[in-house]
Amino acid sequence: MLSYFRDLLTYLSPDGRASQPSLSSQALHIHMLHEIVSALNSSMHGIEQTLNLVAEAVTALLDAERSLVLLQEESRPRLRVSATSGMVDCRDYEGLWIPSDIGIFGACLRERRPMRGMLNEQTERVAADFYRSLAIDHFIAAPMYSGERRIGVVVADRHRGLPPFSDNDLKLLVVLAHLGAVACENASLITSLRAKNSRLNALLEVSRALSSTLELAPLCRLILDQAVELTRSAAGVLLLYDATGEKLDVRCAKGVPDQALDGLELRAGEGISGWVLLEGRSLRVPDVHQDPRYIEIDPRVKSEMAVPIVYDEQIVGVINVDSFEENAYSELDQRLMETLAAQAAIAVRNADQFQRLRNRLED
């Protein structure tokens, strides 16, 4: 796509060698923006492709040496490089981030206005080190917002030996940042809708699978496997009441160290699952180390979610999933788990009644 933008710019530019009549600078920018909007509108295959198009458009239209798009992370106040174009490779910046309240980029976001910057103007060491890591020197930046929500910052850079960016360049960057923000929101919405549709289809397949067996052990494994997969979890445990109806036993586990489960029993009120058992409602814990109810089984776990398995207004068990990332579970994840738990309750009840009937027949 960048080569297309470049070729089009050469064809239309007043300084180009194209055989067709050239356009004025203003008409050129309008025509290029039209092409960029068309490209962004056709790029609804995901946020990554949209961000790359934004970076490529900035490089082509502003004749920048390098362009970057930095996204504001949802779970923490920091910016990370998410797309690049020009004399730069996004893979070089993996794991690189900066707090979103410092430097030119931080001011750009806070004040919601475009800004100019140079490396030697950065008095904050963290900002200077970050800009140096990006290999940018003489740059302009514009904020990306959707309503009041921060999306990120778009950056264009040139080295000092080249002509500095003009006021018109800064205005064009603002326009591109606005277009990019709208395109990012649309791409995120479409990606979210596709993910929801995929997971709802998965729930349908789970429902069919649950009705395929009346054996409790394989049924529990199937339920837990689907819970871990649907929520993109690292581990999970399915617990059911024991024969006494006083405590929860681990019926199956996935991704949990075996030694951590030896002799593990939970009563109402004990741990996250015990709280869910006592209260009869789901619980999402964004940071387990900040929750006194948490009982550590795996030190890698950072967030947890548990939902009750309820049949005929009685709790028969708990499905618990863990993630190695903080704040890993959304409201959608919780609703999906609750739907799965409702299906699981019927399947577990049927399997239990089948086993009881089999035992009577054998007796």
Record the pTM. Answer: 0.53
pLDDT at 161 over 70: yes
What was the pLDDT predicted at 288? Answer: 92
Distances (CA, A) of 5 to 15, 272, 309: 16, 54, 56
Report how far residue 331's alpha carbon sits from residue 340's, in angstroms, rounded to the nearest whole number: 14
What was the pLDDT predicted at 25? Answer: 57
Report how far residue 71's alpha carbon sits from residue 151's, in angstroms, rounded to the nearest whole number: 6
Q: What is the pLDDT of residues 15-64, one digit of tens each?
A: 544 334 444 455 555 555 555 555 555 545 567 777 888 888 888 888 88
What was the pLDDT predicted at 322? Answer: 94
**How many other CB atoms sit within 10 Å of the CB of residue 34?**
10
Domain 2-190 and domain 211-362, same fold? Reply is yes
In the sheet that holds 115-118, the strands lie side by side as: 97-99, 78-86, 66-72, 149-158, 138-146, 115-118
What was the pLDDT predicted at 286? Answer: 92
Report how far residue 151's alpha carbon sits from residue 346's, in angstroms, rounded to the nearest whole number: 43
Report how far residue 215's alpha carbon sits from residue 251's, in angstroms, rounded to the nearest whole number: 13
pLDDT at 241 over 80: no
CATH superfamily membership of 2-190: GAF domain (3.30.450.40)
pLDDT band at 218, cuts 50/70/90? confident
Q: Per-domain residue ranges for the chain? A: 2-190, 211-362
What was the pLDDT predicted at 19? Answer: 39
What was the pLDDT predicted at 304? Answer: 94
Beta carbons within 8 Å of 118's beta carbon, 6+ residues apart: 137, 138, 139
What was the pLDDT predicted at 250? Answer: 83
Q: Which of the two residues, 311 and 36, has the higher pLDDT score?
A: 311
Classify 211-362 by CATH class: alpha beta
Helices 47-62 and 25-41: crossing angle in degrees, nearest 10, is: 170
Q: Calculate the average pLDDT of the chain.
A: 78
Q: Which of the two residues, 145 and 314, has the higher pLDDT score?
A: 145
What was the pLDDT predicted at 12? Answer: 44
Report how far residue 227's alpha carbon sits from residue 254's, in angstroms, rounded to the nearest whole number: 10
Q: What is the pLDDT of residues 48-107, one digit of tens each?
A: 777 888 888 888 888 888 899 998 887 788 898 888 888 877 777 877 888 888 888 989
